[in-house]
Structure 1
Amino acid sequence: FFVSRFREELEHYETAEAVPRTVATAGRSIFFSGTAVLIGLSGLLFFPFMFMRSIGFAGVIVVFVSVVAALTFLPALLGVLGPRVNWLRVRRRSGGPGEGFWSRSAELVMRRPFVVILLVAGILAALLFPVGHMKVGIPEATVLPEKYESRAGDDLLKENFEYAALNPMEVVANLGQDPLSAEGLTDVRDLGESIRDAGGVSRVESVYTVGVGAARDYAAQVEDARDEAEKEAGGRVDGLVREQIQVEIQKNTDETVRQQLSEVEATYGTVPPGTEEQIRAEVEPRVPEEVRGAEDHIRAQVQRRVSAEVDSRVPKLPEGVSTSGAVTPEGVANFLELPAARDSEELETAVNSYVAGDRSLLRAVTEENPYTQRAYGAVDAVRAVEAPEGTDFIVGGLSAGQKDFISSLYQRVPLAAAFVIGVTYLILLVTFRSVFIPLKAVIVNILSLSASYGAVVFVFQDGNLSGLLNFTPLGFVDATLPILMFCTIFGVSMDYEVFLLSRIREAYENGDSNTASVSKGLVATAGIITSAAAIIIVVTGAFAFTGIILTKAVGLGLAVAVFVDATVIRVLLVPATMRILGDWNWWPGGRKATFRADGKKHD
């Protein structure tokens, strides 16, 4: 832009005068346009994340150095070169400033400004439509090309495993008491059930669920041991009954024989020889029948003895744990006190992973991919859960961290946007001494920026052109992208706007009508702005064919914004609005003295 103006000045003045005139005109525009770009990039410094601040700080340094070089080194270099700057010119002028495509375009817009505005409104509406359903998120390995191992591994995890369980919400509950006590486990259970019932959560894992699972396994083992012992004992009952019957028969026989011998001795004073054998011969056939008549009683006694033996061999279940699978918090606490639980290294490791002091960890598995908006909604639902009395909790984990990052990021957006837009407006107000020109510039910049957002949503969120650009649609836009694009595109677009308006203002102050000034300004800057825009479109557009989705999106967004700004906005919308506003464009500054082509001043 500076060199182009210097070559124009050389057509009328010597080098010694052309250089200061160029600095006074193009140099002034470069200073304010560079300041606009610098302000846009400074907006990144409002965010508390170092990667964004580093981008903003680096951009500010680059722009500052470029502006300083353009206002110091470049004038000195052109002063040395003088007319030799036109050596090896590729294309020479073939007509006056009022001829050519840009002149005809400006004249057409001047004749039908309202029609042009309606046409532009239709084009911009189509470009802006996708912005209405834009979603933001934090991407995972899907942003990488499929050739990378981390991307392939992530795809395998999604296809073959429960992906949400790999990145659950981490809920840390402050219980104020021992988490392994019956009361602490009750609070953990109640909180876990409330979290599970929150929207978007499929299940909750905690020290309570681990304890319940272990207690049920223990109860099942005890029940199996009891069944085995009872089965083994049941096989011995019949034999034990037979043995007991024989014992009872012998016992009763001996008892009956002794009793009858005592009666004989009492009657005769002595027991004759052979009397015992005779009595036993009479008693032995009769006693077994009497004993077998009481077999059911004997069997019951044997079964009670066997059952007592089984009870002594099989451990009892702790109170609160039943073989039916019902386990209470008190049951879990009692189970964890058993030697079988204390001696299990696996159970101890599992329990310790959920307990630290008086705090307990609960892991809530979301129903959806933890990188999605629904998972972020589940975080809100869990945070809205009412904790048991005397208990409080905080929610962390991947989904919560991402949601908090996005919230923290966009809390600063109003402040950054207000700074960029407000300061830019004030600079343009000082530059052009107009209230409406800066306002219009800000509005059209926002329109071109929104158009780029629409393109990004259409392509990278909705998945259109994914085959051509070789990427997997995310279903959302990277949360940092809209902010990076705003701070970059706003300044770059304003850069072109300042160049155009500077030439229009100069023509107006030289005495041309508002309509003629717009035409002259557009024609004078068309070539240089179009060339600069083409360079940015080619360079940033090439980013769309890189391997990383964020880089693709930044490149496409910048290319679309610059293309819309350099064509639809600058060629159609700006001239049309300036034609309608007329001299109000320059209110309240009006005209003032400036350089004319003949070297005189106009008052």
Structure 2
Amino acid sequence: MSRGSVTVRVARWSATHPWRAIGLWLMLVVVAVGLMIAFPKQQTKAEDTWIGQSGTASELIREAGLENKPSETVLLTDPDGQLDKAAATTAFSQLQQKMTAIDAVAAVGQPVWAANGKAALLPITMKGGEDDAADNVDKLLAATKEVQQANPSMTIEQAGSASIDAGIWKQVGSDLARAEKISLPLTFALMLLAFGALIAAGIPVLLAFSAVGAALGFYAPLSYIFPDGGSVANVVLLIGMAVGVDYSLFYLKREREERRRGHGTVDAVEIAAATSGHSVVVSGLAVIVSMAGLYIAQDPVFSSMATATIVVVAVAVLGSLTVLPALLAKLGHRVDRPRVPLLWRLNRRIGPGGISRRILAPVLRFPKVALVGSAVVVVALVVPALGMKTEPGGLSTLPQSIPEVRTMTALQQNFPSQGMAYDVVAKGDDAIAGLTRLRQAAVDSKEFVVTPGSEIRESGGTAVLTVVSVRPDTSQDARAALERLRNDLVPKALPGATWAVGGETAQSVDYGQHQRDQLPYVIAFVLILTLLMMAFTFRSLAIALVTTLLNLASVGACFGVLALVFQHTWAEGLLDFTSPGFVVSWIPVFLFVILVGLSMDYHVFVLGRIREGVEAGLTAQEAVRKGIVESAGVVTSAAAVMVSVFAVFASLGMIEMKQMGVGLAVAVLIDATLVRIVILPSIMVLLGRKAWWPNKLSAAQPAPAGERELVTV
């Protein structure tokens, strides 16, 4: 890099026109907020996730106009045991009166009593489609709550697709608020520990938070193309805080370092722009390239995550290259004020890389031993990943703290006909006769039941039969029941006919299988593009191959830890969850692209420092020692921020967020310690100058004193 590079020119302009740069950044944030108000965020619709045979079934049902109307169920139970029929009848009468008065209710059925005498239910059919039910379900929940208050001797609860979705969104909102409440002060505390000064600690947190807000605003109009699948806000906060703080940290640390060497504020900003600023650009591009791999999955939820993450990373990079130099130029030496005496002295006493220098010394002295030993540890962590099971999330993976989830679980326990339902669609002249044969065969198998009053629906030559599995509502049982229908019962009952098995449960199974099928393509896309990117950036095929190998090691270790934690019960009390026995199917795909991108943050930064040493004429061992030690403080601080933010998500209620948080926190911890301080240095020392092959990387000619530090990747 030179003084004429784009990052340096942008930083110089921002540093010499600080108020303009700060004003433009504030204007950017204001415009983003305006976009959020002007363009309400769009959510994915049910048909957006239709896929496979279940998608075909849904399409056939919609074309024939045979969709089931959305429904809710009110469950009555007695906490002391047998249900008092007289009291229950009174409650049912109140429920029927209140529900009938609600415009969104199409019909209220008759009470159904459980065979065990411990429960009774009231079925309610709503008007319109699923979107209409989602908009009006709160009215039904309010009515149910009023009847519960009038009948305290019984437990009166409501469950259904719309109410469970409402409960999930409420839990997600609560989780997000909790994550914000914890992650911001925790990140600030870590920055305070890293800098020992309040202003220096506050700048990265402030910029990261403003980047998150701006990204959510810019995503709002994009949601009309890539609608939110439900996780965008969580992902933007998770990734935005991590990379936003890291990018500011890289820049701010280098600027402070150059000021300590005697450079003026503007010169220090230019040097930071040419070195750390360029690393930030490369790291940001690496994250963007990795996240683009999610588009290969051809999944609307992943596409929304990819789009939102790309936006927040781009905004964070822009902020670190524009408003950050402006703030540093305006503040000057005051960025290190006010100092926290104890932390400031501790930072000065330890010095840059004080701890890593001691760890690195034996690695450089015995690189072969260090490489073999660390490889054994990584392999031991990777081995459990070979047995990792992935299944789609369902009722069994939702937190029991959600009232509607508890109600649905109790409902299925008392009424087997309320379990996992499958819609069998047949088209043709023999459709009704074939489905009649299927209904009898399904009931005779003792594996399925048909809900009383549920008839075969027919329109225009298309007929639909709904059967319910008697198995527990788990992903493994859902797949087993679906396979029994598709591979045995339906083909025998409908030979030669056009048919498909769908329904919500089948959609969940097909969705999980689609994600497993697409994972190899996502991995290939991300690895190939990042390999090419590293080869171009460092002009070295060896560096590109080493980077790919280390990325795979970190991801493999992450998957191994996920399998150890979530497929067993030993960590349930520690992390407050009930083990589902598997990892939710979308987690591995998402974690892979995120980890490859995030690991490039400090990987590029560290390699840039090592390359500076090689170009300065140092031996491979000395260049590695200098590069690792000088970047250790930044890498450690960056990793600490990432691990802490991700660990916050590991404490949330939703199992998907918990698995994502644990996976990311563990992977970054392993990557920043074992991989970057042991494996990478030992490989670089053993390879020597061959590490930069085919680039011979001759030592640079001595440069003027003011420009010598302007050489990096």
TM (normalized to structure 2)? 0.58
Establish whether residue 456 from structure 1 lines up as the match of residue 706 from structure 2.
no
In the alignment, structure 1 segments of 5+ residues that lack a partner are 211-345
Q: Is the CA contact (8 Å cut-off) linking 1:168 and 1:397 kept in structure 2?
A: yes
The whole-number CA distance in structure 1 between the counterparts of 2:350 and 2:504 is 64
1:309-354 per-residue CA deviation (whole Å, 9 max, x = no partner) reads xxxxxxxxxxxxxxxxxxxxxxxxxxxxxxxxxxxxx9xx654x44
CA contact (8 A) 1:42 1:56 kept: yes
Native 8 Å contact 1:138 1:371 kept in 2: no
Q: Describe the superposition over 1:142-174 as per-residue Cα deviations: whole angstroms up to 9, x where unpaired.
A: 4444333112213323543437x6223222222
Query: What is the Cα deviation at residue 357 of structure 1?
Result: 4.6
Conserved? CA contact 1:205–1:363, under 8 Å? no
Contact 2:419 2:473 survives alignment (8 Å): no
Shift of 1:594: 7.4
2:475 paired residue number:
372
Match of 1:171 among 424, 445, 455: 424
Of 425, 439, 457, the residue aligned with 2:531 is 425
SS in 1 for 2:577: coil
**Mapping of residues 166-315 of structure 1, within 5 Å:** 166-177=419-430, 179=432, 184=433, 187-188=434-435, 202-203=446-447
Rounded to whole Å, the distance in 1 between the matches of 2:251 and 2:304 is 29
1:535 lines up with 2:535 in the alignment: no
Q: Distance in 1 between matches of 2:266 and 2:448?
A: 80
**How many angstroms does 1:32 deviate by?**
0.4
CA spacing shift, 1:12–1:587, aligned 2, 3 Å = farther
Residue 28 of structure 1 is matched in structure 2 by: 278
Q: Using a 3 Å threshold, how does the CA distance of structure 1 residues 9 and 145 change in structure 2: closer, same or farther?
A: same
Alpha-carbon distance between aligned partners in 1 of 2:311 and 2:319, rounded to the nearest angstrom = 12
Structure 2 letter corresponding to 1:40: S
Cα distance, 1:408 vs. partner?
A: 2.7
* CA contact 1:469–1:544 (8 Å) conserved in 2: yes
Q: How does 1:73-222 map to 2 (within 5 A)?
A: 73-88=323-338, 90-91=344-345, 93-94=348-349, 100-162=354-416, 166-177=419-430, 179=432, 184=433, 187-188=434-435, 202-203=446-447
Answering whether residue 677 of structure 2 is matched by residue 574 of structure 1, we say no
Kindly state the Cα deviation for residue 419 of structure 1 after the two structures are TM-superposed: 2.6
Equivalence for 2:660: 554
Residue 464 of structure 1 aligns to a residue in which SS?
coil
Structure 1 residues 528 and 389, CA gap change in structure 2 (3 angstroms): closer
Residue type of the partner of 1:30?
A: V
Code of the aligned partner of 1:75: P
What is the SS of the residue equivalent to 1:139? Answer: coil
- Name the CA distance, whole Å, in 2 between partners of 1:520 and 1:414: 38
Q: Who is 1:267 aligned against?
A: none
CA-to-partner distance for each residue in 1:244-299, whole Å, 9 max, x for gaps? xxxxxxxxxxxxxxxxxxxxxxxxxxxxxxxxxxxxxxxxxxxxxxxxxxxxxxxx
Q: 1:53 aligns with which of 297, 303, 309?
A: 303
Q: Note if contact 2:384-2:560 (Cα within 8 Å) is conserved in structure 1.
A: yes
Distance 2:570 2:300 in 1: 33
SS of 2:464's equivalent? strand
Corresponding residue for 1:469? 575
State the Cα distance separating 1:463 from its structure 2 match: 2.4
Gap change, CA 1:379 and 1:85, over 3 Å in 2? same
Q: String of CA shifts for 1:368-424, please: whole Å, max 9, x gaps.
A: 335323431442453334454442311112332112112333343333323322221
Compared CA separation, residues 203 and 78, structure 1 to 2 (3 A): closer
* CA separation of 1:436 and 1:194: change in aligned 2, threshold 3 A: farther
Shift of 1:29: 1.1
Report deviation, 1:130: 2.3
Change in 2 beyond 3 A, CA 1:444/1:368: farther
Map 1:284-363 → 2, pairs under 5 A: 350-351=454-455, 353-363=456-466
Could you tell me how far apart the structure 2 residues matched to 1:117 and 1:530 are?
21
Equivalent pair of 2:448/2:470 in contact (CA under 8 Å): no
Q: 1:202, 1:365 within 8 Å by CA — same for their partners in 2?
A: no
Segments of structure 2 that go 5 or more residues without pairing to the other structure are 1-249
Cα distance in 2 for partners of 1:122, 1:38 equals 32
- Is 1:384 equivalent to 2:487 in the alignment? yes
- Cα displacement (A) at 1:192: 5.8
Structure 2 vs 1, CA of residues 401 and 597 (structure 1 numbering), >3 Å: closer, same or farther?
A: farther
Deviation of the 1:539 alpha carbon: 1.8
Establish whether residue 63 from structure 1 lines up as the match of residue 313 from structure 2. Answer: yes
Letter in structure 1 aligned against 2:389: K
Cα distance change of structure 1 residues 196 and 116 upon mapping to structure 2, 3 Å threshold? farther
The Cα of 1:448 is off from its aligned counterpart by 1.3
How many percent of aligned residue pairs carry the same amino acid?
34
Aligned length: 451
- Asked if 1:43 corresponds to 2:146, the answer is no
Report deviation, 1:598: 4.1
Give the Cα–Cα distance (whole angstroms) in 2 for the partners of residues 42 and 401 of structure 1. Answer: 25
Q: Which of the pair has more CA radius of gyration?
A: 1
CA distance in 2, matches of 1:511, 1:582: 13
Change (3 A) 1:151 1:432: same
Work out whether residues 202 and 364 of structure 1, in 8 Å CA contact, stay in contact via their aligned partners in 2. no
Q: Please say if residues 168 and 364 of structure 1, whose CA atoms lie closer than 8 Å, have aligned partners that are also in contact.
A: yes
Q: What is the CA–CA distance in structure 2 between the aligned matches of 1:472 and 1:42, rounded to whole Å?
A: 33
**C-alpha distance in 2, partners of 1:557/1:108?**
30
Partner Cα separation in structure 2 for residue 116 and residue 194 of structure 1: 64
Q: Secondary structure at the match of 2:472?
A: coil
CA distance in 2, matches of 1:594, 1:481: 49
Structure 1 residue 176: Cα displacement? 1.6
Q: Is the 8 A contact 1:370 1:398 kept in 2?
A: no
What is the root-mean-square deviation in Å for CA atoms of aligned residues? 3.0
**Does the CA-based 8 Å contact 2:286-2:600 persist in structure 1?**
yes
C-alpha displacement of 1:39:
1.8
SS class of match (2:534): helix
Q: Aligned pair 1:444/2:694, yes or no?
A: no
Q: State which drifts further: 469-478 or 557-566.
A: 469-478
Residue of structure 2 in register with 1:412 after alignment: 518
